[in-house]
């Protein structure tokens, strides 16, 4: 069956097979005109894709990645036997996908349509989904799309850019990474982003996650893996009337996976003189690592003092932290508050640190690290979470001693400043009072100019008389 679609038509048919011809101006539109399916041009050719209709440049799914068309026309053919096929204008097949379970019968009618969630779906006559574009994500995650793994899925569903970079969670479901083509971890995404932006569901044999809010005509959002390996969060609201793009990771050198090394008990601080620092209660392991230059990018830290494994041990609060990696690993208790979490860490001898944080299930929980602390950082701005690092009893005593010393120094400094100010004020007041008294007590100078005219005449007569008598 042959069909040439107009600009505002979406498919819903019940036939054994059908063909759809696409051109630059012929597209399939979802019922509420939120998404479009058609051909778009990239720097390497033409691709079958889905995008926000209001924003054609925001492509959210690409079918024939790596196999572009070289003209603006192509034919999409769907059949029970051959699956989904994309042909160029010369009839050459550039892309193919088999229909999946429930099994497609050769003589069963098919339906295909683009939903308002952005999912292009092929189903059988009873509504069973044979194929959906959400099952084969490209490099963009949008609301309604579910990533992860579950029974019957033989791979972890992720977003990826041309098999060079991809984002995805681990089997435990606690961590998300940006991976390289060789399977190496490039960056671990700060859990604070995944817990706030995603809905995560974890069971004994499955783990899935998706974006929290749904796409509407007044709200659009996406999480994109770029061609340079950056994970970018984009959001558009009717109130702002513009797209806001935020680089989630990696944002700087501290976001690179294990910048300070593996198993080092260090954190990255973006300090220009010493980017990697030991956690409180730890020190560089060797003398060479204590050298600031060699320790600027890597180093291993060990405890200054052994833990007492009692209430004499304590904690140092570090704010604005990217919490350490949890996959290697930790103990977690859902629904446990801060004080109880502190007690549990104190009574667990190998507990290194703890945090009271939101887990993928959405429940505020206690997380304890029982191994070395790695792949963490301290933000310079008000981001991240609180991390409580366990200190040995001797270190706690030193900490209290240093705090008391600082208090004494501060008290002495403040006292000296107050005394100095008091001396200045008293000196000023005394000088001011002395000057005023001097003005009041000074005698008036008497001159001829101050005498009345009669007095001047008497003085002249007196002088004449004196001069006339002479001097005996």
Predicted pLDDT of residue 432: 77
pLDDT digits (tens, 9 = 90+) for 414-429: 878 888 888 888 888 8
- Boundaries of every domain in the chain: 1-135, 137-251, 266-397
Angle (nearest 5°) at CA 298 between 295 and 387: 100
- DSSP assignment of 439-471, as one string? HHHPPPPP-GGGS-HHHHHHHHHHHHHHHHH--
The whole-number pLDDT of residue 291 equals 52
- Parallel/antiparallel/unpaired status of strands 28-29 and 35-42: antiparallel
pLDDT per position as a tens digit, 214-258: 778 788 999 999 888 888 989 998 888 899 988 888 888 898 898
* Average pLDDT of span 105-134: 83
CA-nearest of 222, 285, 249 to 52 is 222
Note the CATH architecture for domain 1-135. Orthogonal Prism (2.90)
Mean pLDDT of 96-123: 78
238-253 in b/e form (b: 16+ CB < 10 A) is eeeeeeeeeebbbeee
- Residue 295 confidence (pLDDT) above 50: no
Q: Residue 457 is encoded by which pair of tokens?
A: 């005449």
452 pLDDT higher than 80:
no
More confident residue, 436 or 322: 322
DSSP labels, 287-341: HHHHSTTTTTT---EEESS----STT-EEEEEEEEEPPP-TTTEEEEET--HHHH
Q: Is the pLDDT of residue 152 over 80?
A: no
> Which is more confidently placed, 215 or 72?
72
Find, among 369, 388, 416, 400, the residue nearest to 263 by Cα.
369
The label of the residue with tokens 């200045």 reads 424
Whether the CB-CB separation of 289 and 295 falls below 8 Å is answered with yes
216: DSSP letter? B
Judge contact between 368 and 351, C-beta under 8 A: yes
pLDDT of 61 over the 90 cut: yes
Q: Is the peptide bond before 130 cis (omega within 30 degrees of 0)?
A: no
Question: What percentage of the chain has pLDDT greater than the value 90?
Answer: 28
- Assign 96 a pLDDT band (cuts: 50, 70, 90): very high
The string of pLDDT tens digits covering residues 347-359 is 999 899 999 887 6
**28 versus 463: which is more confidently predicted?**
28
DSSP string, 387-417: EEEEE-HHHHHHHHHHHHHHHHHHHHHHHHH
Q: Are 333 and 354 within 8 A, CB to CB?
A: no
> Higher confidence at residue 97 or residue 6?
97
Greater confidence, 138 or 294?
A: 138
Rg of the chain (C-alpha set): 40
Name the band, by pLDDT with cuts 50, 70 and 90, for residue 316. very high
User: CB-based contacts of 409: which residues, under 8 Å, 6+ apart?
Assistant: none
At residue 465, the pLDDT reads 44
121 beta partners: 113, 132
Q: The tokens of 319 are what?
A: 């704010």
Q: What is the mean pLDDT of the chain?
A: 79
Mean pLDDT of 291-315: 75
CA distances from 421 to 156, 173, 283, 412, 465 (A): 70, 61, 42, 14, 66
- Cα-based angle 251, 190, 206 (whole degrees, multiple of 5): 135
CB contact at 8 A, 268 and 306: no
Category of 155 on φ-ψ map: left (φ > 0), alpha (ψ -120 to 50) or beta: beta
pTM, two decimal places: 0.73
């Amino acid at each position: 069956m042959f069909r040439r679609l107009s600009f505002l038509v979406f498919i819903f048919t019940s036939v054994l097979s059908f063909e759809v011809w696409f051109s630059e101006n012929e597209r399939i539109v979802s019922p509420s005109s939120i998404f479009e399916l058609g051909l778009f041009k990239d720097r390497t050719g033409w691709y079958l894709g889905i995008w926000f209709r209001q924003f054609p440049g925001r492509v959210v799914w690409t079918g024939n990645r790596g196999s572009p068309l070289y003209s603006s026309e192509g034919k999409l053919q769907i059949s029970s036997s051959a699956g989904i096929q994309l042909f160029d204008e010369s009839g050459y097949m550039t892309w193919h996908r088999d229909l999946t379970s429930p099994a497609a019968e050769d003589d069963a009618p098919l339906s295909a349509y683009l939903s308002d969630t952005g999912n292009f779906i092929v189903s059988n006559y009873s509504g069973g989904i044979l194929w959906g574009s959400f099952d084969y994500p490209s490099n963009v995650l949008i609301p309604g799309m579910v990533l992860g793994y579950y029974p019957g899925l033989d791979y972890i569903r992720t977003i990826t850019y041309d098999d060079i970079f991809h984002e995805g969670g681990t089997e435990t479901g606690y961590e998300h990474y940006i991976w390289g083509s060789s399977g190496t971890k490039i960056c671990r995404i700060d859990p604070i982003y995944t817990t706030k932006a995603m809905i995560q569901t974890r069971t004994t044999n499955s783990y899935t996650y998706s974006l929290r809010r749904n796409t509407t005509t007044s709200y659009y959002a996406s999480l994109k893996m770029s061609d340079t390996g950056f994970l970018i969060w984009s959001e558009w609201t009717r109130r702002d009337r513009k797209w806001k793009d935020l680089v989630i990771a990696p944002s700087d050198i501290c976001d690179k996976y294990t910048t300070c090394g593996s198993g080092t008990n260090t954190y990255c601080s973006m300090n220009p003189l010493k980017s990697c620092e030991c956690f409180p209660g730890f020190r560089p392991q060797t003398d060479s690592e204590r050298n600031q230059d060699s320790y600027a990018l890597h180093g291993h830290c060990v405890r200054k003092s052994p833990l007492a494994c009692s209430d004499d041990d304590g904690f140092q609060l570090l704010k604005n932290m990217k919490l350490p990696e949890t996959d290697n690993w930790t103990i977690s208790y859902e629904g446990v508050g801060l004080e109880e979490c502190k007690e549990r860490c104190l009574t667990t001898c190998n507990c290194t640190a703890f945090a009271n944080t939101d887990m993928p299930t959405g429940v505020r929980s206690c997380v304890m690290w029982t191994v070395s602390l790695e792949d963490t950082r301290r933000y310079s701005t008000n981001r991240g979470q609180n991390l409580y690092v366990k200190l040995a009893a001797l270190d706690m005593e030193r900490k209290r001693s240093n705090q008391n010393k600082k208090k004494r120094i501060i008290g002495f400094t403040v006292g000296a400043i107050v005394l100095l100010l008091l001396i200045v004020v008293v000196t000023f007041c005394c000088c001011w009072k002395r000057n005023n008294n001097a003005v009041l007590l000074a005698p008036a100078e008497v001159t001829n100019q101050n005498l009345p005219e009669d007095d001047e005449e008497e003085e002249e007569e007196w002088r004449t008389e004196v001069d006339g008598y002479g001097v005996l």
